[in-house]
Amino acid sequence: MTPTLLREILAEARFSPSVHNVQPTRWRLQPDGEVLVLDAPDRRLAVGDPTGRDALASHGAAVEGFAIAASVRGFTVRLSPAEDAVTKLMLSPGASPDPLASFLQTRRTYRGPFREGEGAAELATLAATCGDLLLVDDADGIAAVARLNDVASLRTFRRRPFRLELLSWMRLSPRHPDWGRDGLNAEAMSLSPAEAIGAGVALRPGVFEVLDRLGLAGPITGEADVVRSAAALAVFAAAADEPPFETGRRWHRAWLEIARAGLSAAPMTVLGDDPEAAAEVARIAGVPDGARVVTVFRLGVPAGPLPEPARLPVEELIAP
């Protein structure tokens, strides 16, 4: 491993998904050529991710992105435990390019509506290629999960500290200095400029509570219409004892399989985090005993454009 190769690999791996797009993974090249994978402590979500499970899943997704980008250059990546680090990576020659490599930079979270009635052929491809997803494609099942998502989301948004933390990662105007760098910008959230201004006001402490008393908070946080426009939902589950880092690696691959099948998706992780919703989703999708719902993707053929990716430059991902 050389500094140049590390930069080349990170230029592609940085497009890996991360919770709220906080991009918590840092990489340090050691004198012996191994790469330490580090957690950026200033990027923790103390409220939304108190146990650090989503941060670990994000690290797993980033390392999977790294391994895929390395494979294109002929390198296999081996992982080993390291003190005070997420993991340590060692590269050795002899890899053939990962078939998911061409989707690493084009995969995107798409939060807008889908083209109704389209995507059946793509879904059949996905069902045949990705064993890690349980598909729900009947209208009743999709509608039931759409309702669960709205109820669980509203429960979460009612927590003021959660809203404040989320707001701190929202970039509601292109004038925000971090609009193209990290977090969730209005374009990524599929909000028009006017909707973005409205969201910024509605989520404020005090305002949200008043809207909630007037029965208006549900319509603001709800996304059932968009969920119901999906060609299908794909439930991503994990063995209850699977380490979150490994879950993150599989999660990224499953999402790249969705992109390879020609579909776009958005995960709805509240459906895994909210115990009541997770139990109901598990029943609807037939998640086996001993497994837990991690997230549910809504997927389909996008009716609008995919957002531009917002990412930190490579130099900021390299730890001294």
DSSP 171-189: E-STTSTTTTTSSEETTTT
Window 217-236: residues binding ligand FMN (CB under 6 A): none
DSSP 8-state assignment for residue 48: T
By CB under 6 A, is residue 247 in contact with ligand FMN? no
3-state DSSP assignment of residue 237: strand
Question: Cα 113 to chain center, whole Å?
Answer: 18
By CB under 6 A, is residue 274 in contact with ligand FMN? no
**Cβ pair 252, 64 in contact under 8 A:** yes
**58 vs 91 by CB, closer to ligand FMN:** 58
By CB under 6 A, is residue 52 in contact with ligand FMN? no
By CB under 6 A, is residue 58 in contact with ligand FMN? yes
**91 vs 298 by CB, closer to ligand FMN:** 298
User: From the CB of 21, what's the least distance to ligand FMN, in Å?
Assistant: 3
Residue selected from 126, 266, 282, 301 as contacting ligand FMN according to rule CB under 6 A = 266
Residue selected from 184, 203, 265, 293 as contacting ligand FMN according to rule CB under 6 A = 184
Q: Give the range of 19-27, 33-41, 85-93, 130-138 binding ligand FMN by CB under 6 A.
A: 19-27
Query: CB-hemisphere CA count at 13 Å for 307?
Result: 22
**Token pair for 28:** 């340090």
Residue selected from 26, 43, 108, 260 as contacting ligand FMN according to rule CB under 6 A = 108
Q: Give the range of 94-102, 105-113, 114-122, 173-181 binding ligand FMN by CB under 6 A.
A: 105-113
**Cβ pair 156, 277 in contact under 8 A:** no
**Cβ pair 260, 230 in contact under 8 A:** no
By CB under 6 A, is residue 19 in contact with ligand FMN? yes
By CB under 6 A, is residue 109 in contact with ligand FMN? yes
Burial letters 83-95, b for 16+ CB under 10 A, else e: eebbbbbbbeeeb
Amino acid at 91: L
**Token pair for 211:** 């809207």
Residue ranges in contact with ligand FMN by CB under 6 A? 17-21, 54, 57-58, 61, 108-109, 111, 184, 266-270, 309
